[in-house]
Structure 1
């Protein structure tokens, strides 16, 4: 029985996607790569151009990985930014830290496709190229409260458990 790992989502099977790997044997995180070229627009540039309409300026850009993750029911995959992204490229994760739950795998909305959310607070747009390392994933266990009563099953895809 498989315990935890990565697979390529169906729609990216023929696009030469690399499964995440650890850079060194003591690294905690598995390096994720971009599955396609993406432009992360500059928030400052957008603000300068659209001062009258700021509703979309801070909206994160989703960077697809072409990857899904499977794990045990009491584990999750934590997505973290590369330490060099804010320093060198002005890229921050829009959600701070991403959480991939075990039941996200194979969900009917998107097959569990993992995407990183980025906001560019620099002066110029940033181009992320296919194959470029964009973030890390770390498998972690979690604990439940004594009186935990979560019984629902996932019905939503990215960013949703199906609950309001």
Structure 2
């Protein structure tokens, strides 16, 4: 059903707002991801909600988004460089990987505070960047598992209950 809806749209790649988060985008308190300049690679992704991240801890930050792309593409997620440099923030997993079959699931940002002070994320803050990228498959890929995704965050390779 998800794949049918993807192909029905005839769009190549982009972001959609999940139903439960529509109000934040409709009232303008959060913006859909955009590139800030013509030559920017990354789409700025904003937080939905307020978060307090003490030193040496992590927080899962809502974005209210899902992404769609071609079957040979992925969305790379990175913490914004200004937050990394100025506030010692990182992504817990270094680079977020959003696969094309993740469509319909909530993109969450796993921020880690490596600094010595509490960091606050405010509703609407730009916290991450997403970059759409192609990928290549190995020769042996035809023998790979053809298992379908069973959920969202952290679900690859996990069997349905």
In the TM superposition, residue 163 of structure 1 has moved relative to its aligned partner by: 3.2
Runs of 4+ in 1 over 3 A off after TM superposition: none
Q: 2:154 aligns with which of 152, 156, 159?
A: 159
CA RMSD of aligned residues (A): 1.3
Asked if 2 retains the 8 angstrom alpha-carbon contact of 1:156 and 1:162, the reply is no
- In structure 1, runs of 5+ residues without a counterpart are 44-57, 107-111
Residue 51 (structure 1) aligns with: none
* Higher mean C-alpha deviation, range 70-79 or range 112-121: 112-121
Q: TM-score, with normalisation over the residues of structure 2?
A: 0.84
Q: Please tell me whether residue 147 in structure 1 is matched to residue 149 in structure 2.
A: no
Q: For the residues of structure 1 that align with 2:32 and 2:137, how far apart are their CA atoms? A: 30
Q: For the residues of structure 2 that align with 1:154 and 1:92, how far apart are their CA atoms? A: 27
Question: Counting helix residues as a fraction of each chain, which structure ranks higher?
Answer: 2
Residue 21 (structure 2) aligns with: 12
Query: Deviation string for 1:37-73 (max 9, x for gaps)?
Result: 1111212xxxxxxxxxxxxxx5x31111111100111
Residue 70 (structure 1) aligns with: 68
Q: TM-score, with normalisation over the residues of structure 1?
A: 0.83
Q: 2:110 aligns with which of 112, 117, 121?
A: 117
